[in-house]
A = this chain, B = another copy of it.
Amino acid sequence: MISELDVIRRIRQQGTLFDANLLKGVGDDCAVFVTNAVETVSLITTDTLVEGVHFDLNWHPADRLGHKAIAVNLSDIAAMGGTPRFALLSLAAPSNLALETLDLFMQGFMAALAKYNVSLIGGDTVKSDQGLVLSITLIGEMDKQQVVYRSNAKPGDQIWVSGFLGQAAAGLEICRQGHSALQRNYPELVAAHLEPIPEMALGRALANSGLISAMIDMSDGLATDLAHVCEESAVGAIVHAERLPLLPSTQQAAKSLGLDPRQLALAGGEDYRLLFTAAATANKNIQEMAHHAVGGQLHMIGEIVEGQGVFLHSGEQKDRIDFQGYDHFSPGL
């Protein structure tokens, strides 16, 4: 049986990266750190992943889960335009959790931290009566003047997303159905679910550029995340159905799964692409910046309007769609 000290020792063995601003990491009542400079602000975010709700160890390799657990938090730092620095990991684990699974999880987790230059500085390990619950807190920093909030979208702004939508939701459904032919044919969809890649470089570049007005990462699906921006900014939004960025593979897989690809794009969640708004005059600069500085794929999908609500326009049809989709307290897709 795994003991709490086992877990803590395994975490400490992984070591932490050297960081001159970290005075004390794992191994005391608190971690202790300083921020860099007067004009620097600290960013902090937390996300919880619950076995059976957010992941299924039957198909989710533990190392890729370790990557995903930190990626979903990194994505929140990206959505402010910041740089991640420190992580805390709380692990509520059933006592029958295999040590191999824990080690594999920690390998993936620590590899992702190293890749993004983040130090593990603390956490907690407790027993869970049932499944594995992972709660991660991530601290980042950035220039005070460059922080991009959700609350500054303006009527007339264009709405952008930083990649194709619906891939993670399609990948989840392929895994859930155990559809081995689709798993072979659409590895990129499965990977989008198992191991999303946060948009760190793009988030920083957009914040640096001063071109954009509001930003959020898409964890709950376009319909919900755009509604958050609208609510915080006291504006409405129109999304044009024909502009929704859907890859052919997502459309084909959706067909095989008996799902509506547009619904995957709007309400699927977990794509972890960035959604941001910018004045129409910035359109050309944003396209150039994305192309040259980041190599990212940006899609302009609609515009911010006066009023409230998120509407999908498809030819003559206009549907209100805000907060459609994933609710962690309701059944999934």
Contact = CB atoms under 8 A, between A and B. Distances in A.
A330 B1 contact: yes
Interface in A118-139: 121-131, 133, 135, 137, 139
Contact of A2 (B6, B125, B147, B329): B329
Interface in A1-55: 1-7, 23-24, 27-35, 40-54
Contacts of A151: 27-28
A44 B121 contact: yes
Contacts of A217: 29
Contacts of A328: 4, 125-127
Contact of A23 (B2, B41, B121, B215): B41
A88 interface: yes
B126 A24 contact: no
Interface stretch (A90-98, A171-179, A182-190, A250-258): A90-98
Contact of A46 (B45, B47, B90): B90
Q: How many copies does the complex hold?
A: 2
Interface string A48-64: 11111110000000000
Contacts of A1: 329-330
A68 interface: no
Nearest to A88: B46
Interface of A: 1-7, 23-24, 27-35, 40-54, 75-77, 79-80, 82, 86, 88, 90, 92-93, 95, 121-131, 133, 135, 137, 139-140, 144, 147, 149-151, 215-217, 232, 323, 327-330
